[in-house]
Amino acid sequence: MTGDVEGMDDRQLHDLIEALVREEHRLLDRGGDREGLSQDDHARLGKVTTMLDQAWDLLRQRRAYEEAGLDPDEARSRPVDVVEGYEQ
């Protein structure tokens, strides 16, 4: 996903996050407690979760850049192994 969110502004990132959250909820509703999900659904849920982590991270970075008086377009998406290690 690293290249997928590059160049998005705050509104686009927020819209992406909302769409991913809706998809995550649909998958979880379909699978109940994840036990009822197919292998493909589990894989998609993992991808959605990863994409959400990266999109939220980039949005937070953009806001921090802006608060610091820097250009938010200079913020960059971080690798999956970095953002997945964050505490929620």
pLDDT digit string, tens, across residues 23-76 = 999 998 887 765 678 889 999 999 999 999 999 999 999 999 999 999 999 999
Whole-model pTM over 0.75: yes
The model's confidence at residue 88, banded by pLDDT at 50, 70 and 90, is: low
Exposure b/e, 9-48, CB count within 10 A at least 16 = b: eeeebeebbeebeebbeebbeeeeeeeebeeebeeebeeb
Q: Is the pLDDT of residue 86 over 70?
A: no
Please name the amino acid found at residue 45: L
Higher-pLDDT residue of 81, 64: 64
